[in-house]
Structure 1
Amino acid sequence: MMNKIFTPPLCIQRYEFVIDFVKKNKPKKVVDLGCNDCTLLRKLKFHKEIELLAGLDIDSAVIRDNMYELAPIPTDYLQPGDRPLTIELYQGSVTERDPRTKGFDLVTSIELIEHLQFEDVDRFTEVVFDYMAPVAAIISTPNADFNPLLPGLTGFRHYDHKFEWTKVEFQTWALKVCREFGYEVAFTGVGQIPAQEESIGFCSQIGVFQIDRSGGDAPRLQNNVAEEHLPYRLLYNVVYPSLCDSNIFQRTLVNEVLYWAETLKRVWLEETRGVGEEESEQTDEEEGCSREGMDREESKTGEEQADRERVEVGGRGFEVENVEVGQTGEEQADRERVEAGGRGFEVENVEVGKTGEELADRERVEVGGRGFEVENVEVGQTGEEQADRERVEAGGRGFEVENVEVGGEGRTDMGQEEPYREGQSVCVPLVRLCSCPRVQALSGTVQRLTKFLLEDSRVQLTNDGTAVVLVDSDDEDLEWDENCDNTGTGRFLVSSVENEDWETELGQ
């Protein structure tokens, strides 16, 4: 009946109230008294800050019918939490004391107290606020003042209710709790209808109790299970996978590394093949223009050169063709072509000054539409060559290039961050992998990442241990397409679970 009056249904609004409290206060240990079919527990288990989630109900049959819905799902293994989540379900009465319920950060009692015999309310109060002594407690119960607004209702809202408190009666009980056990309470609730009198209050009234710390932090009671009687019967216990388990941590890290290594490899191969296709289409036209330019230059007075130079950067060779030196007093600005590993780089405005003079002009190199600025490229006197440290800026990232020689061979020292080919394999540097947020969060540093990967046979590293080696083959690419979701971290599964439809879980 009430589910038709309120949107969303009243039971869902109560669960949402608890969840909002958990999100804001982040308790680590939560127990739900009167957990019934474990609906609230199923929703709370997705909050990673919770480390212990317990439920208690007098009806063992309803717990057994629903407890396996709290078992870990595949997503929990693919994306384990930083700390283990333990779930415990007990059969027992809330009027009995069990040391396993001490020391919780939050106790919830949603529409439970009205099911107790009135003479048991005082015992319930002492167990919760004196014996269990949680940091916070959320108690909800029907508001009898609201009952006349519910169409067709006669008597109590449920056949098992032993009493229903008015707004004044509930607040009187709650304030007495605060005085006797050192708590503070805030009154609120869920469920209102348009045009109702404000004095009536909510359909479900809620008291949020928090321990009074005005006199300093109260001592937390610790479990002393060995010395006390255990009246509750444990029906279900499960510990979720977490990164605290070394085997799970190792598997999770390796899965992340392989996932991102394959992703980076595929992106790099697509970019490399795309640039190669574009460059091959322009080869004939550019070679023709280059030969025509050379024929024109041969008719001019002075010495002319068209030598192939080689620049090595980080062990990778770049061949420079048709670098022309004009006549004394003349400067040229022709478009030249640099080829590096089959990829074309166009160089604009390479200027050579007069004999005996040195220039330090900023040139621009365009590579596949991306600009690289080169500073301080110096050409010395005729017959002399220099090897100065240059700086290349690409997309705001600086790389220093050493020993760039004109007319000879040189070498550069530059950290390799992008994938590169080695035979039939593609190597993805660990430096690049460690920049992936999830890998970095798990490993911390490249040194630690290397250590973990050396201990796992599923990962092949280069001889120097600086890169992951992946096979580049069509068969392997096909297999990756079919299985990439299995190697990943289950992000989409998490999304689908967290957005479950609460409308299917209605009920008082």
Structure 2
Amino acid sequence: MDPSFSPPLHGQRHQFVIDFVNKNKPKKVADLGCGECTLLKRLKFHRVIELLVGVDIDGRKIKKNMHALAPISTDYLQPSFDQLRVELYQGSVTQRDARLRGFDLVASIELIEHLSLADVEPFSEVVFGYMAPVAVIISTPNSEFNPLFPGLTGFRHSDHKFEWTRAEFRSWALKVCLDYGYEVELTGVGRAPPHLQEAVGFCSQIGVFHRLGGRDSINHLCCDDGEGMFSYTLLYSINYPSLRDNNILRRVLVNEVLYSAEKLKQRWMERRMDERNEALPLSHAEGEGGWEVCIAVRNTDMEEESAACGEELKHPREPRQSGVAENRGGQCEEVFCINSTNEESCTSHRCVSVPLSVLWSFSPKISTLGGSLANLRHLLTDDPLIRLNQDRSAVLLSLPEQDQEEDDRDGYDLEDSGFAEDSRCSVSAEQEEDWEPDT
């Protein structure tokens, strides 16, 4: 009889670990005997994991496959708030290394049978007594299944030193639980034909060990004399990009602010062009800082829009913290200003001023990344790609030269105007919160 497995047996073993990760959400995971890093390559996509470690005695295998664990381009283009660090070590699982202590999950897939019987006890002491993880998954061949492989004599692999029966594996697992304070569930993958399943069991038998007391317990046999021991050689380490890194957060936020501000400016410029084409003059008002033009961008007809903006200028209201003004129908108006070059940060003749509060309301991503309006201003201040007004309540975007010339021809003389820091057509972004960025 030739047993066939679908999916392949090695894939079933790795999927068993992945299912455990999805269910139990471990943050620190180690794969002992990682070999070609196949399991690690799949686990890196499960971003609940913050530290992913592989250990193998064959450093050549690690070096050959380690670069497949590097971040891909989308990890840099669209970083998430999740953190992930990958570390690969060359070393023996019968030796202690303090960097492998305190993990949530240690997996050892088809490894123990490659050890000599004399090394099984040191392996047990290192993994369960010294590393003392919250959970351990051990898989190993079930020798009772071997007769189902045609032509197989001896062990399944030339490097195997032994292959346990189900009773032998159970005996070892129960002794580990007694010695080191764990409980075990015995299962497996690779089912035999239905009429033989009970007789021979799974092709790969698996023990899932849980430390008694879970995360809050401390193994009473955990030795402190090896606290500073580092016997493994670090071959590879990489930190995946994360929005918890302030430099990455700032870069992503600045790009989003520039994109959203330009999008709003373009919408406003298209509306201005429609007004010109329909011979509807822009409204003017004399504010404290000089002549300014206020444009309300809404999905309403042009006459209502001009009337609403004109009314706002005749009877100016106090700035709103929300960054938007409600019209008579309860809709929100996005408010912009054209300002002269009295602003030091605006090097062109005229600028479009986009309040931060409007950007905050316009883009959920900006509000999520910023944390608060106060912190949004903090992150944008002094960034070379961002120009803010004097009170840092708005982003300044230059008008294209062609639009400036058209304003001159149309008679909108803003040449002598000054920019009022408390402009009534801009909207205050003073929504202060006690929020400190991650360091």
Give the TM-score normalised by the residue count of structure 1. 0.62
Contact 1:103 1:221 in 2 (8 A): no
Q: Does the CA contact (< 8 Å) of 2:173 and 2:207 recur in 1?
A: yes
Closer/same/farther in 2, CA of residues 426 and 5 from structure 1, 3 Å limit: farther
Cα 1:465–1:158 change in 2 (3 A) is same
- CA gap 1:207/1:455 in 2 versus in 1, 3 angstroms: same
Q: CA deviation at 1:183?
A: 0.7
Question: Is structure 2 residue 358 aligned with structure 1 residue 453?
Answer: no
Matches within 5 A, 1:193-342: 195-199=194-198, 200-213=200-213, 217-218=217-218, 228-266=228-266, 272=271, 280=278
Give, in whole Å, the separation in 1 of the partners of 2:51 and 2:213.
Answer: 24
Identify which of structures 1 and 2 has the higher relative contact order when contacts are C-alpha pairs closer than 8 Å and 6+ apart: 2
How far residue 35 of structure 1 moved from its aligned partner, in angstroms, is 0.6
**Aligned equivalents of 2:243, 2:220: Cα separation in 1:** 28
Q: Which residue of 1 aligns with 2:31?
A: 32
1:330-353: per-residue Cα shift (whole Å, max 9, x none)? xxxxxxxxx999x8456xxxxxxx
Which position in structure 1 is the counterpart of 2:63?
A: 64
Q: Give secondary structure in 1 for the equivalent of 2:7.
A: coil
Instruction: Say whether 1:47 aligns with 2:46.
Output: yes
Q: Deviations over 1:244-285 (max 9, x none)?
A: 543333223222322333444456666x489769x95xx9xx
Give the equivalent residue in structure 1 for 2:421. Answer: none
Q: Which has the higher strand share?
A: 1
For 2:385, the aligned partner's letter is R
Instruction: Assess if the C-alpha contact under 8 Å between 2:134 and 2:215 holds in 1.
Output: no
Q: Alpha-carbon deviations, 1:350-373, whole Å to 9, x = none?
A: xxxxxxxxxxxxxxx7x7xxxxxx
Letter in 2 for 1:433: L
Q: Shift of the alpha carbon at 1:114? A: 1.3
- The structural deviation recorded for 1:229 is 4.4
1:18 alignment partner in structure 2:
17
Name the structure 2 match of 1:95.
94
Q: Secondary structure at the match of 2:19?
A: helix
Per-residue deviation at 1:82? Answer: 4.0
Q: CA RMSD in A?
A: 4.1
Matched with 1:420 is 336
Structure 1 residue 194 displacement after superposition: 5.4
Tell me by how many angstroms 1:179 deviates.
1.6
Q: What is the CA-CA distance between 1:83 and the residue it aligns to?
A: 6.2
1:410 partnered with 2:315: yes
SS state at 2:160 partner: coil
User: Number of matched residues?
Assistant: 371
Q: Please, which runs of 5 or more residues in structure 1 have no aligned partner?
A: 288-309, 319-338, 347-364, 368-391, 393-400, 476-508
Letter in 1 for 2:369: L
Partner of 1:148: 147
Kindly, what percent of the aligned residue pairs are identical?
A: 52
What is the match of residue 108 of structure 2? 109
* Residues 135 and 210, structure 2, Cα contact 8 Å, conserved in 1: yes
The one-letter amino acid paired with 2:315 is G
Q: Is contact 2:294–2:337 with CA below 8 Å preserved after alignment?
A: no
1:258/1:11 Cα in 2 relative to 1: closer, same or farther (>3 Å)?
farther
- Aligned match of 1:395: none
Q: 1:434 aligns with which of 353, 356, 360?
A: 360
2:207 is aligned with what amino acid?
Answer: G
Which residue of the partner structure matches residue 123 of structure 2? Answer: 124
CA distance in 2 between partners of 1:47 and 1:311 (Å): 56
Secondary structure at 1:434 match in 2 = helix
CA deviations on 1:399-441 (whole Å, 9 max, x unpaired) are xx9x969xx9433456444263526654433123334333223
Name the SS of the counterpart of 1:5 in structure 2.
coil
* Alignment partner, residue 343 of structure 2: none
Structure 1 residues 206-232: Cα deviation after superposition (integer angstroms, max 9, x where no partner): 211111118972269999799644332
1:158 maps to what in 2? Answer: 157
* Aligned residue type for 1:166: T
Counterpart for residue 444 of structure 1:
371
C-alpha distance in 2 between matches for 1:264 and 1:404? 22
Check the 8 A contact 2:336/2:354 in 1, yes or no. Answer: yes
Q: How many angstroms apart in 2 are the aligned matches of 1:419 and 1:150?
A: 76
Contact map agreement 2:297 2:335 (CA 8 A) in 1: no
Q: Tell me the CA shift for residue 107 of structure 1.
A: 0.6
The code of the aligned residue for 1:236 comes to Y
Measure the CA separation in 2 of the matches of 1:11 and 1:427. 60
C-alpha contact 1:67 1:236 (8 A) present in aligned 2: yes
Change (3 A) 1:260 1:461: same
How far apart are the structure 2 equivalents of 1:46 and 1:433?
32
* Contact in 1 for aligned 2:98/2:227 (Cα 8 Å): no
Paired residue secondary structure (2:71): coil
Q: Which runs of 5+ in 2 are unaligned?
A: 325-333, 340-349, 403-439
TM-score, normalising length from structure 2? 0.71
User: Distance in 1 between the 2:357 and 2:223 partners?
Assistant: 47
